[in-house]
Amino acid sequence: MTNVLVADDPLYEKLYDVRREAEDIGNAVDVDAIMPQVHRLRAEAPVHKGRLRELLGLPHHDRHVRARGRQHYSVLTYEACEAAFRDAQTFSNGVQGNDNPANEKTMGILEMDPPMHRAYRRTIQPKFLMPEAMGWWRTRTIDGIVERLIARMAKDDRAELNLDFCARVPVYTITTAIGLSGDEALTFRHAYLHSTSQSRNTTMEDRVRNGRIVEDTLLGLIAARRAEPQDDLISFLLKTKLMMPGADPRPLSDREIMTHAKLVMVAGGGTSWRQMGITLFALLTHRDQFEAVRDDRALLGDAIEEGLRWNPTAPYFYRMVTADTEFYGHQIAAGSVLELGLGPANRDPARWEIPMSTTSTATS
């Protein structure tokens, strides 16, 4: 195990400030303050014309280039969100991509639709199923990190849980799972975030330079593992075969492996860090529930699920409408964008017995 776990690298403070991260892209939201408005809108109709942020009086923020300038619809009920998520033919993931000359799917499976989505997803999915999560991931990395970090907190008799714990577990786990060394975790994340950042403070030059660092690092790692496989995700992906319907199975190309690795880094790193903080905050501000989980570890899974329902760190996702369609009372034209409100759906009284909860402030 390397030093990154316990080192007081100033990059941690720079990269793991939730409020600053959200404010940087004009995206800091006080969940409790907007929730009454969410309930009012949802009670009026499951789907509204317009952007969710606009409907809630929040500053404009474009998450995806492909969504710019299109008509948006916001989906607020659990039932309507589920219907859209399940109909990939009408509501496409294509909205998540970036336009580039080579038409490369730089966002990987996140921007693919079936059957391509399923075929590519299958090449990596075995590593993310429960037996591997509780086996390979835990024994290889997670148990060790958690024990080390807790020992450090216990020794100091204090803890700043965001920086001392939540920030460190996911980035270290994911970076080392891919096959990079733990010491590279922070610098790699820093480069990755700056290569994709939409912050006003990041120049195009920064993005290109950092994008090159990310690609060179990953392509170098893939070449090294091709020569000498090890027990990591890159070596696993080098062995798997892509099985597209109607085509012969074939190995993934280096760029396809790189895209999988980048997506896993970004999808797993930030979300897990923030969601861990949200759930710990919820438990620490509800001592009865904290004690119940501590006394009965079987409740842990439900506590994590409830944290995700209560305040999901990724509260809305986009889909592109592929054909003119009627959806919950709206005639929606092809080319429009649906904003699927996981946050609003997760507090929908038609789905949840006690949808509202306690008070908190979170950024999203």
Would you count residue 357 as binding ligand HEM (CB under 6 A)? no
Structure tokens at 55: 């409907």
Within residues 316-335, the interface with ligand HEM by CB under 6 A covers 317
Choice between 122 and 152, CB closer to ligand HEM: 122
DSSP H or E run through 326: strand 325-327
Instruction: Give the Cα separation of 342 and 44 in Å (integer).
Output: 18
DSSP H or E run through 215: helix 204-227
Q: Which segment (47-55, 227-235, 266-274, 354-362) binds ligand HEM by CB under 6 A?
A: 266-274
Choice between 264 and 320, CB closer to ligand HEM: 264
Which of residues 7, 110, 242, 292 is near ligand HEM by CB under 6 A? Answer: 110
Choice between 164 and 339, CB closer to ligand HEM: 339
Q: Which of 297, 319, 359, 5 is nearest to 175 (CA)?
A: 5
Choice between 198 and 271, CB closer to ligand HEM: 271
Q: Which segment (30-38, 51-59, 73-81, 271-279) binds ligand HEM by CB under 6 A?
A: 271-279
Choice between 118 and 152, CB closer to ligand HEM: 118
Q: Which of 26, 69, 77 is nearest to 51 (CA)?
A: 69
Instruction: Give the Cα separation of 183 and 116 in Å (integer).
Output: 35
Would you count residue 185 as binding ligand HEM (CB under 6 A)? no
DSSP H or E run through 210: helix 204-227
Which of residues 28, 142, 263, 345 is near ligand HEM by CB under 6 A? Answer: 263
Which residue has the CB atom at the shortest distance from ligand HEM? 268
Neighbours of 313 (CB within 10 A): 22
Neighbours of 228 (CB within 10 A): 7
Instruction: Give the Cα separation of 29 and 21 in Å (integer).
Output: 12
DSSP H or E run through 49: strand 47-49
Contact present, 186 and 13 (Cβ < 8 Å): no
Which of residues 196, 272, 289, 322 is near ligand HEM by CB under 6 A? Answer: 272
Would you count residue 271 as binding ligand HEM (CB under 6 A)? yes
Would you count residue 188 as binding ligand HEM (CB under 6 A)? no
Instruction: Give the Cα separation of 244 and 120 in Å (integer).
Output: 8
Choice between 153 and 314, CB closer to ligand HEM: 314
Choice between 170 and 355, CB closer to ligand HEM: 170
Residues that bind ligand HEM (CB under 6 A): 109-110, 121, 174, 263-264, 267-268, 271-272, 275, 308, 312-314, 317
